[in-house]
A and B are shown apart, each in its own frame.
Chain A
Amino acid sequence: MIEYKTRVRVMNPMGLHARPGVSIVRCAQAHRPTELELRCLSTNSKALGHSLLSILSLGAGRDSEIELITRGPRADELLKAVKHLFETGFASTEGANENDNEEIVARTSHYQRAGDR
C-alpha cells in the first residue's frame, strides 16, 4: 500500500485542542477509507486521524512537530488537505477566539451605544 508522509508544525497558539481536532477528523472522515495517522515527534505519541479523542490525547502544543502519514486510495489528496489545515492554522477562527473577551466587550459597548441612541 502506498504511504504518504510529511511533517508539519502546529502554528496556532493553543495547540491541537478540540476545534482543530474537529477539523482534522472531519477531513479524515470525508476521505474514508483512507487512513490518517499523526505522530507527535516531541511527545513521541501516535493518533488515529479519524478519532478526536486520539488526536487530543497527543497533547500537541504550539510549535510541536507532527508527522502526517496517510495510506489508501486517496492518500495524496488527504495528506494535502490536512497539511493545508495545519498551514492555515485550521482556517483560523482561532485568532478571533483568542480575543473572545475583547469581542464581547466590543459588542457590549456597541449594544450600549445602540441603547444610548
Chain B
Amino acid sequence: MQGHPITNGLVIGRIAKTTRQASHPHTPLIIHASDSEWQKYNEAQKKALQQIEELRRDAIEIQKNKRQSANQHAKDDSSADAMPEVMSSYSLLLTDEVLTDRIRGLVFGQSLDATSAVLQAFRDVRAVVEAMEDQHIREKVLDLDACEEILLSSLSDAESIQSHHWAHLKGRVVVVQHPSPNDIIRFHQVGVAGIIAEAGSHLSHAAILARSFNIPTVFGAAGIVRTSSNGQMVILDAHDGKVTVNPSRSEQRKAEARRAVELMMQQKLKSSAQSIARTIDGQRVIIFANANGPVDSRMFKSSGAEGIGLLRTEFLHLNEHSSEPSAFIGAEEQLKVFFQLTAENVSPGWATFRLLDCGGDKPYPPDNALGMNEKQNVSEGVFGLRGIRFLLAEQKILELQLRSLLRANIAGNVRILVPYVTDVTEMRRVKAIAHSLWLDIPEDERTALHYPKFGAMIETPAAVQMTDHLASECDFMSIGSNDLTQHYLCVERDNSNTQNLYNAFHPALLRCIHSIFEQQKFLDVGISLCGELASDPIATELLIGLGCVQLSCRTSAIPLIKEIIRKTDADEARRFAEGLLRLGDAEEIQLRLKQRYDELHGRLLTRSGSRNRAS
C-alpha cells in the first residue's frame, strides 16, 4: 500500500488501531485553549510545590525524630539527611524562570497542551545536561526525573482517564483515520513506534508535529483502516511511503537488515555534522538552523548549524495575554534578554530574528490594538493583513520588537528579517523606524551595541520580481519557499480542495528560484533559502544547481543535508538543474529528483544498498 511519506524512518512492528477520529482535521491555534492549558500548568505547579513542601516537612520530622532516638532508622540516615535540601532544590527547579518561560513558550507559541509542554521542556533540559562536559556536574545535577514526575502527576490528575485510553498504543504502529495535531502529541506521549493515516496533508500541523517528534509517519494510505486489524505485523517505510501489512518472512528480514544499516548511518551522520559542508569541487554551502524559540548554546553546537537562519519570534508574543496594552512595556526587558542570550549563544554565527509574522494561516497576537482575532484570520485568507503589513498598521508591536532587538545586539550578530515584503518602501519604513528608535537609546547603553543587519523575506511574487530593488535596502535576504509556493501556485495550504496542487517542485517555482539566484549574481547580498524545501534531502542537489549556497534547515535534517552536499559536485548539479528547468511537469521533476537521490545517496538513509542484497 502506498501513502505520502511524512517523515523518514523505517519501522517493523505490530498494528494498533485507534477508532478515534479527529473532529477537526485542521485545528487552528486558539488562544483561549492555550490560556486554559497555561492555567492548568500553573495549578499543577502549585500543587506540585505543595506536595514538595509536605515532603520536606516530613523529612525534617524524620530528622528530628532520628536525632531524638539516634539508634533507629540508621539505615535511612544518609538519604533522610539530605532530604530537606533536595526537596528545596526541587521547588527551586519547579519555579525556575528559564523552565517556566520555556513551558510558557511551548504552550502559547506552539499551542502544545500543558502535559506535552512539560515533557518537551524537560527533554530540552536533559539534552543540555547530557551535553555537559564536566562529568561530576552531570552526575550531580538534580534529579530531573523526580521533578518531572511530580509535575506530571499533578497535571494528570484531571486527565488520567484520557491517557489511560491511549496506553495500549505504546510501541505499536498506530493506524488512524485522520489524526489531529493533538492526536500526534498523544501518540508521541505514549511512545508509538509509527503512524499510518488514511488522510492528512503533508503540510498540516499534524504532519509538522510528527516530523518534529521524529515519528516515522505515512499519511494518505487509502484503505488501511478497513483492511488491517489489531496485532498484525506491518512494515512502515516512511522514506517512500510504503506500507506492507502482513509481510512475508523474507520481506521482514530485508526490512530488519535495512533498519540496522539505517541506525548505523544515522550515528555516522551525526558525528560528521559538526564539520562544515563543501561540495566535491570545493563550493562552500552554509547551513543555518531554523528555530522556534530561545536557542541554547549546547544544543546549537551539537546541531552542526553555522548560525540561525530563521528564528520565528511568534512564540514570544503569544505570551502576552493580558488585555492591558501596557503588558507590552514590561515585555521589552524580557524580550531583550531572550534575544541577547540567543544571539550570544550562537555567536559568532548569525542570529536571524524574523519579526512577528501573523495573519494568513498564522494567528494574530491576542491584544493587538487593531482588534484582529482568529475570525479575521479566516475571513482575510492568505492575502490579508499579514507580516509587515500588520506590523506597520500596529506599530506598537513593531517598535517593541525592534527596540528589544536593537538593545540585544551586544555580540554584533543580530539580523532582523522582515516578513511578507511586497514593496521596497516597506523595508525603508522599517529601517527608518529602527533608526529613530536607535537614536532614542541612551548614549551610554548604545556604545556597547552594534547596529543590526536588515533583510527581507522573499515570499511573494512581487518580492521575487523586485529582488534587485529590495537588495539595495537589504544586508541579506531569505527565500521563504513555503509561502512562495502558495502564492506562486495560488494554492492555500489549509484548503483541502487545493492541497494536492501544492507542490514545491512545480516548474514555476524552480524557474522562480532560479531567477532569484540569477539576479543575485549582480547583487552583493547573500540570499538564503528557508522553508520545507531546504530540509528536503531530494531537493539539495537541485538547490545547489540553481545557485543556492545558504540553506536554513530544520535541525534534525542538518546532518543528512550536510552529507549530501559533501557528495555533490556543484558543476554537475548545475547541469542537472538546467535539465530539470526544461521540464514542464511537476510530477516528472519530482520523480527524477527521487531517482537521482536514490542513485547517488540512496545508501545514506533510504536503502541498505547492494551489500545487503548480496548477503
* Chain A positions near chain B (C-beta within 8 angstroms): 13-19, 21-22, 25-26, 43, 45-46, 48, 50-54, 56-57, 59-62, 97, 100, 103-104, 107-108, 111, 114-115
Contact = CB atoms under 8 A, between A and B. Distances in A.
Decide if the interface of chain A is mainly helix, strand, loop or mixed. helix
B501 interface: no
Interface string B192-224: 000000000000000000000000000000000
B97 A61 contact: no
A22 B297 contact: no
A46 B296 CA distance: 11
* 6 nearest CB pairs, A to B: A61-B134, A17-B140, A59-B132, A111-B74, A51-B98, A14-B136
B74 A107 contact: yes
B85 A104 contact: no
B74 A19 contact: no
Contacts of B85: 19, 22
Contacts of B142: 18, 52, 56
Given A48-B98, A108-B75, 13 more contacts: A17-B140, A18-B140, A43-B133, A45-B297, A45-B345, A46-B344, A51-B98, A52-B92, A52-B142, A54-B96, A54-B98, A57-B128, A111-B71
A57 B296 contact: yes
A57 B298 contact: yes
Interface residues on B, range: 20 to 34
A104 B136 contact: no
Nearest to B131: A59
B77 A107 contact: yes
Nearest to B344: A46
Interface in B70-96: 71, 74-75, 77-78, 82, 85, 88-89, 92-93, 96
B341 interface: yes
A103 B89 CA distance: 23
Contact of A16 (B99, B137, B297, B344): B137
Nearest to B92: A52
Given A57-B298, A104-B78, A52 B140 contact: no
Interface string B338-356: 0001001100000000000
Contacts of A17: 136-137, 140-141
B392 interface: no
Contact of B341 (A18, A21, A46, A111): A46
A3 B186 CA distance: 48
A103 B345 CA distance: 42
Contacts of B77: 104, 107
Nearest to B445: A1
A56 B89 CA distance: 12
Interface in B121-157: 125, 128-129, 132-134, 136-138, 140-142
Nearest to A103: B78
B141 A56 contact: yes
A64 to B, nearest CB: 8
Nearest to B125: A53
A18 B89 contact: yes
Decide if the interface of chain B is mainly helix, strand, loop or mixed. helix
A7 to B, nearest CB: 19
A60 B97 contact: no
A97 B297 CA distance: 31
A113 to B, nearest CB: 11
A100 B71 contact: no
16 contacts: A14-B140, A17-B141, A18-B140, A19-B85, A22-B85, A48-B97, A48-B337, A50-B97, A51-B96, A51-B98, A53-B93, A57-B129, A57-B296, A61-B137, A108-B75, A111-B74
Contacts of A21: 89
Contacts of A111: 71, 74
Interface in B280-327: 296-298
The winner among B71, B77, B128, B137 for most chain A CB atoms within 10 A is: B137
A115 B96 CA distance: 46
A14 B125 CA distance: 20
Contacts of A56: 129, 137, 141-142
Nearest to A47: B98
A54 B140 CA distance: 15
Given A48-B97, A51-B97, A114 B137 contact: no
A83 B263 CA distance: 48
A14 B137 contact: yes
A99 to B, nearest CB: 11
A13 B296 CA distance: 26
A4 B526 CA distance: 41
A106 to B, nearest CB: 10
A61 B297 contact: no
Contact of A22 (B75, B92, B337, B344): B92
Given A46-B344, A108-B74, A111-B71, A22 B88 contact: yes
Contacts of B298: 57, 59
A15 B141 CA distance: 11
A50 B297 CA distance: 19
Contacts of A19: 85, 89, 140
A52 B137 contact: no
Nearest to A50: B97
A117 B38 CA distance: 60
A60 B137 contact: yes
B78 A114 contact: no
A13 to B, nearest CB: 8
